[in-house]
Amino acid sequence: MVFQKLIGISRDALQIYFDGKFPKEDLENVLKTNENDMKNGRYKLGKNEISILFPDDGSCPLSSTFDITILYKLLRNYGEDMPKPSQGWGKKPHIGDKKETDDLERVRYYRNMFCHATPETSIMEKDDFELSWMDLSKAIMRLSNGTLTAKINELEKEIPT
């Protein structure tokens, strides 16, 4: 349960990073320019994602309403100057991989690992938990420029000993 809370913090880190790459005025332009592609093209988004990105009232959505999947897809597919992660898109980075895009992949990887886990697969050995915690928490700190460090430190107090 505590790792799922860390994944929640990783969403906040992704939003902080996203907001740096897509200020509101840039986001609005990216959405308008790529609307057809997002709805019908190579990077076609799901119906729910489309409804979030293109509200019926025509307003520009706020990144605070985006989940990890939307943030990741927009950064990966429409972010300018986004270098390929060290192991490639859609692959878990190695511990030593520290590019910003490696950290995007870490957030995606751990989110998927836990959101698609069954009761049998969600149990982690202590060493695996500690390594995963360190890997994701450092990515959060890097993506958020350290602004979420206090939240991580507070959450660490909930880890059973």
Domain regions of the chain by residue span: 2-156
d(CA 161, CA 116): 26
Any idea which residue has 């950064």 for tokens? 75
Residues 6+ apart with CB under 8 A from 15: 63, 64, 66, 71
pLDDT at 35: 95
The per-residue pLDDT for range 96-152, each reduced to its tens digit, is: 999 999 999 999 999 998 776 655 556 678 888 899 999 999 999 999 999 999 999
